[in-house]
Each structure stands twice: as structure tokens, then as C-alpha cells.
Amino acid sequence: MKNTFKKNELFWRYLCSYLILLLIPLVLLGVVVQRFFFSSLRSTLLDQSASLCEKAQSALYTQAKQMDSFAMQCVGDSHFSRRNIEENPTCYMDICRKLRYFQSVNGSVENIFYHQDGLDYFFSTAGTANARYLFTSASGTKLADAQEIFETLRSLPGPFWINAPLYPDVGSRGIFYIFPLGERQFIFQLSSAQLEEILTSAGGDYPVLLLNAQGGVLYARHADERFQEAAERVRSNFSRWSCDGETYYLVRSDSKGAEPSLVFFIPVREITARMRLPGFVYFASLLAIISLGAFVIYEQMKRCYRPLRALGQAARRVSPGLSENLNLIETAQRALESVGQARSPHEEEILREARIFRLLRGEYPDIDAFNADCGGLGMLLSGSAFQVAVFLTEWESDQAAGEVSIFEQLREMLSVDYEVFMLEYLEQQSFVFILSLPSPDIRPALEQRLQLLPMHYQEAVGRSLTIGVSEPRGSTAQLLAAYNEACTAAKYQLIRGKNQVIFYADCRQETALEHYFYPKEELDSLYYAIVNGNTVKIQFIMQNLTARIRGEQQSLFLAICLFYDIINTALRATHTISQAYPSFETKYQNLSVNENLRTVEDFVGIVEQISEDIIAYLDQNRRGGKSLEAGDVSAYIREHFADADFCVKTLSDHFNMSISNFSHQFKSCMGQNVSAYINTLRIDTARALLSSTSMPVNDIAVRVGYVQPSSFIRKFKQSVGQTPGDYRACCEAQAAGGQDAAVNPVPAD
């Protein structure tokens, strides 16, 4: 199951990527809809409730206008005149008939009372009523003096709504509309049943308050004093208010003068319930879109994935021994690599070094050209900016060579954040690092990382390390200029001091940058490049030295000195390789008497000719007069590797070669560094001793050439992954398991 998933990893990875691309806009759409659409829907539903509230308010307003109109008509009717009332004893019958007629026409009016100043009684639909009976409760308790009531009615400035017990026929409070017309007053009692019907059709069964212009409660349904307090306190429409665990929206109608206003308390759960169906439809549609999109993406991925699957199957047919844990692209890549692995590791190392030197010379116009040229070599560039760093150490040529692995460690420390290529420029004394950066504006992070390297080198080797860093470049074609800047910054240690990181951008601004630095390091590197037969490195150094000669236009003397130093270095190197190269010495040793050398270009031409002659000579005789035999070197190392002072210098002295030449030729023959080969031999011997003897670990450390047991334990754990004690315990456990199996064989079926 795991292997099957690994093979189809690309399919599932791309499928998940496309599904994520589908889900991101849908999630954003869902957030937008949730935030705006449902909010608008909620506002629409509340607006509908407010519209119903206004509709009920308009119905009450219409009723009031009808009662006002009837009162105005009665004022103009002669039956309601004072003279008719005083002179006609039967006038009350006509007045009551008219009042009853309006009551029958307007079903919302339950009773009508008419009064004129000077009368101590009222006319109503039932006849006349004495004031002392009208304003007395059913229990006989006097509520107020009749004269006081009359004075109050006469003093009303306009229509007035009230909820009060006005007469004994009604045991509960009623809603009355009082319309004063000078000395006449009309009192209309509204029908509670009709009012209930109006409010129910408008606001459902919600809590409702009907308030007069003074804020008094005329009518309350499912509402107590707390609702009245909330209506007085919360004035804005659609505000939320909670009571007894229920949350309400307050919807209030606009007040029209003296007319009553309505306050609806709409439960939030009712609005939510009305929004449930649109929400369900929306999310169901969204789920359908996601399902359909996922199905279409899956089918298209299957169709597009078939060529990749065919490619992976073809790659496995070409290379059947590939691991089962590879996906299709990795399978094809490994198959191509296995087809092109005719080169030896040493040849690949030479090719990689040649590509890096070409990169350093700026021969690649962009990273695509470099990546295309490095196919199958395991090198890749992807950054947008590039910098060169030159590492200078204190090692001298007459000392034993240090561990090359320390610079590999420095490169790996940089490789944590950047793509890094490393070149050994001067026999472990000078290294060139090419850094591919994600952005040119990352100097603080780069400087912080570089500051750790001198400290690490000082702790590991005990010597100082100076790093010169160029300015960032936006193209690989500018790397040669960046290299020269890094060299200038590194040599600036003569002014700044050693064991630090020096940026060219910093030292360029100082006047001390004008100091002249003679290219001694380039000349030494040229010598070792010729001795080691590194033609790519020779071309690079000669190009730099030629540029230096051309750059000495203002000082012909310095150009001449550099010219003759190049010749002397080349002669010394070729003499070291083989003394049987007289034609080279004869051709160039008497240049001082040549009168044709008068200009800088004459000197440059000679240097270029020297470079061509040396490269041609090295191509004919790659290793010169001395070459290593792998069998002899291996036999000598196996004989002496247990000596505590055995090192690269011991080997180079024995075979009468320089350290650099021996190291170079050893790596060419064996495919690895001398130190790595010796360490592997020591660890393999220690493993054999640990598994086959009971010799103490400290004795084994001395036996294989380690003076300090702690150093042996550290090296052993780095190579094997276990301490010597753990390794011995595992070997003993395996041996005991094998003996048990031999003593107790498994019976046959």
C-alpha cells in the first residue's frame, strides 16, 4: 500500500493542489456570502417586519381619521347643537341613533360617548349616562370628581389616547380615543378583539406594545413591565434585547403626532428559522459545485497522468533494479541517470569543476544555460541574485595539509539557506564559494550566517579564516567581476585584520581601497594548477592575470614585473612536473632580450601563448613524469595506517611528491580524498576487532591509529551510526541468536 502510494505520489500531490485551488475561492465565496448575503437577507426580513408594523400603524391611523371625520360631521349636525338638546327632550334618541350607526359601520369602535360643556351627563350608543356613574368603578369606588373630569376633557389640546376604566360595564381597562372639539368632546372606545386581529395579522404571535404619544401603554400582548422598560430605553430600530433567555429584535413604527406607536418584539430564532431554507439551498449548491469540480479535476488528472505512468513503466523496463519507493518522475530520472553513468566518479568531479569554473568566468548568460549544461551532474541554480565569497586561511605550503572536510562543513553550513558551489583555489589556503541567493537584499541574514564560519573554523583548526564577499549580482554573466571584488575584499585583511568577514561594499567606500595588492595568490595558484594538471583552473587564472596586466596601463613597470613572474611561475611548475621539457624553457627563458616586447598587448600575447603551450603539454602528458600506482599506495597505507602520526605528508614524502600533487593524483586513482580513505580503513579494522575479539575499546583505538579514545568514538559513531560499545553489543546479540537457532532447530512439518 505504501509503495503504491509512493509510485502515484505525483498524482495525489497534483490532485490535492488542484482541489486546494478549487476550495480557496469557494471558501472565500462562502465567507463573502455569509458576511454580506445572509446579512442582507436578515435585514430584508427585518424590513418586512418593520413594513408590517407600519401597516398596522397605518390601520390605526386610518381608524383615527375616520373617528375624527365622524366627530367633525356631528359638530355640523343640528341634532348635536346645544339648542336642540335643550329644547328637544327626545334629541338623545337621534344622537344615539347616529352614534350607533357609526358604530355599526366601523367595526373597530365598541362604544361612543358624546359630551357638551354644561351637561353633567354623556350621550352614548346605549343612551345617556350620568357622569357620576360613568366615572365610577364597578365596585362603587369614586375615581374622580365629575367636574374635575370635565375640566380635564375641556383642557385637552388635541386628540388623546388612553387606557383606563371609564364606566362600570367593563370590568377591565379599555382603549379610548378622546377627540375634543371646543365645548364638545367625543370619546371612542376601541374594540379589543378588532385591535387584536389587526396586530395579529401584522406581527404574528410576537410580544407587542401599543404606546400613546406620552409613552403610556395602551395595549400589551405577551409583554410585561420589562418589555415596556426596554421600549423606553432602546430607541433605535432592529436593536437586540434579551429577556428570560430569549433574544428579540425591536421593531418600532414611526409616530405620527398624537397617534399611538407600535413596538414589535420579534424573536431572533424566528428570523433564523426563516433564513434556514435559503442557507440550506446555498450550502447544498456549494457542496454540489465542490463535488462536481472535484470529479472533473479527478477525471482530467487521470487523463493527463497516463503519459507519466507510461513513462515510469518504460523507465522501469529500462532499469528494472530501481527502488519501489520512487514516484514516476524519480523513476524516470534515476533511469536516465543510470543510462548516463558510464563516467567514473572522478570524471564527473572533473566535469563539475569545469562547469563551476565556467560559471565563475561568466560564460553562462543565465541560469537556464548553466542548468542545461550541467544535466546529469547534480548541479542546479534557481536563485535570482549571485555573490562570490573568497576564503583565505593561514596555511603555508611547507605545513601539512589541513582537513578538506572542514571546508565541506562550511559549505554545508551555508547550504542550509543558499545554493553554494565550492572551488579549491590555492591548495586549501584559498577557496572560492559561489552563492545563489533568493534575493539581492538579504545582506543582514547572509552576514549573520557568514560570521559563524570563521568562529567554526577557528574552533576546529585553530587558525584564522578571512572571508571577502562581493556585491550581489543579478546575472551569472557578471560573476567574474564579483570574483574580483571578493578577492579585493579578502586581501583587504592587510588593513582591516584577519579572521573576519569583509564586504566589498564596505571597503570600497574607504580611501585605503586604493592600496595596490600584488597577485601573489594567483601566481601560487597557477603553480599548483600546472603541477596538478588542472587545465580549466589554468585558463581561469591566466584570464585574471591577463586582465591585471591590461589594467596596469598607468604603471608599465608593474605590468612587466607581473609578466615575468607569470613566466617564472610557469617555468618552475613545468620543471617540477618533468625536467624533460626543454623546449618550453628555451622558448620563454630569454624573453628579456626580446626587443619586440614594447607594449602591454605584446606582454598579453606572450602570456596567452604560454597558457596554450602549457595546456597542450598537459593534454599530452596528463600527470607528468610522476604518477601513482593504486596498488603501491594502497599497500603502503594498509601497512602504516595504524601509526598515530600517519598523515598525507607522510605519504607524499614517501612517494617523493608535493602534498598537493599527491592529493590530486590519489583522488584521481582512488576516487576519494586521502583522509577519507585512511579513516574508512581504520573504522573497518575497528569493526572487525569489535566483532571478533574482546579487546577493550581504548586498546582498539590505539591499535587502529587514534591517540585519543574520545576521537575514535566520535569518528566511529559518525561512520557507523553507533558507539563502539553499542556495535559490539549488537554483534554479540546476533551471534547468540545464531547459536540458539543452531541448538534448537525448527522441526519440519
Q: What is the DSSP letter of 603?
A: H
CB 703 within 8 A of CB 689: yes
pLDDT at 39: 78
Side-chain half-sphere exposure of 572, counting CA atoms within 13 A: 13
Tell me, rounded to whole angstroms, the distance of Cα 333 from its chain centroid: 30
Q: Residue 230: exposed, middle, or buried by beta-carbon count in 10 A (0-12, 13-18, 19+)?
A: buried
> Are 172 and 165 a contacting pair, CB within 8 Å?
yes
- Report pLDDT for 433: 92
pLDDT at 123: 85
Indicate the length of the chain as a whole number: 749
Strand partners, 162: 176
CB atoms within 10 A of CB 172: 7
Give the helix/strand (H/E) hosting 162. strand 160-164
d(CA 305, CA 299): 10
Q: Which residue in 170, 160, 215, 205 sits closest to 191, CA to CA?
A: 170
The amino acid at residue 408 is: E
Give the containing element (helix H, strand E) for 502.
Answer: strand 501-503
81 to 86, 90, 115, 124: CA distances (angstroms): 9, 13, 11, 16
| Residue 388: predicted pLDDT | 92
For Cα atoms 248, 254, 257, give the angle at the middle one, nearest 5 degrees: 140
Torsion angle of the four alpha carbons 653, 656, 659, 662, in this order, in degrees rounded to the nearest 10: -120
Residue owning grid cell 586498546? 699
* C-alpha to C-alpha distance for 652 and 386, rounded to whole angstroms: 38
360, 471 in Cβ contact below 8 A? no
Mean pLDDT by 10 residues, the chain (749 residues): 58 78 80 76 81 82 86 84 81 86 84 82 79 53 58 75 60 72 84 76 75 79 82 80 85 76 84 80 82 82 75 68 66 64 62 84 86 78 89 61 68 87 79 88 87 87 87 89 87 82 81 60 80 79 79 66 80 68 61 61 78 76 56 79 77 71 70 78 88 87 84 84 88 74 44
The contacts of residue 282 (CB under 8 Å, 6+ apart) are: 33, 37
Close Cβ partners of 667 (under 8 Å, ≥ 6 residues apart): 346, 349, 673, 674
Give the model's pLDDT for residue 400.
Answer: 40
Q: Residue 532: is it exposed, middle or buried by C-beta count within 10 angstroms (0-12/13-18/19+)? A: buried
pLDDT at 746: 41
Instruction: Identify the pLDDT of residue 740.
Output: 54
Check: CB of residue 611 under 8 Å from CB of residue 539.
yes
Cell of residue 15, nine digits: 490532485
Q: What share of the chain is helix, strand, coil (3-state, %, to 5)?
A: 60, 15, 25
C-alpha cell at 565: 613572474
Element (H, E) at 335: helix 328-339
Task: Please report, in angstroms and rounded to a whole number, the separation of the first and last CA atoms in the chain.
Answer: 32
